[in-house]
Amino acid sequence: MRDILKRVSNLLFLPPEAVAGVFRLELIGAEELYLENHKGILEYSDTEVVLHGGDRILRICGKHLSLCTMTDSEVLLRGEFEQISFAAV
């Protein structure tokens, strides 16, 4: 279903995060990370944060990671990011 919605959004030139509900990751330098359309936090420590992105698991590793703010759809992380990896759910 999510794949169909992604294709439709591509065809109609619509943002997929709005139509298919996929997460949107915004990285400002290596110090600030903004994630939209997340599904929650799975793990959290000052060296590693694991976030549920819907169809992907997002793993962020680094130093002094801190959760600046969090709402039901947005997360703002700060710290020194070293590695960002994705894994299938």
Partner 1 sequence: MSSLIRLLQGTVTLRICGAELERFLNLCAECQIRFWNHTKHTFDEMGLTIAARDFFRLPPIVRKTRCRVHLCSRHGLPFLLRKVRPVLAIGVILFVLIAWVMSGFLWSIEITGADAASHDLIRSALAENGVKPGAYTKRLDLERVRNQILIDLPEFIYLNINLHGSHADVAVKKRIRPPEIVRENGFANIVAKEGGVIERITVYEGTPEVSPGDLVVPGQLLANGYMTGRSGVSVPTHARADVYARTWQTKRILFPLEAEQITLTGDTYRKYTLVFGKKRIKILQKGSIPEHECDRIIKKTQLSLPGGLTLPLYLELETAQVCRLDRALLPLPYAITFGTQALEDSLVLSDTDRLLDLRFSATEQNGTVELEMIAECVKQIGVEQ
Binding site for partner 1 (CB under 8 A): 40-46, 66-72
Distance in Å, CB of 67 to partner 1, minimum: 4
Of the two residues 6 and 55, which places its CB atom closer to partner 1 in the complex? Answer: 55
- Secondary structure element (H or E) that encloses residue 15, with its range: none
Q: Is the CB of residue 67 less than 8 Å from the CB of residue 33?
A: no
Beta bridge partners of 63: 80
Of the two residues 18 and 41, which places its CB atom closer to partner 1 in the complex? Answer: 41
Of the two residues 3 and 72, which places its CB atom closer to partner 1 in the complex? Answer: 72
Tokens of 3: 């794949």
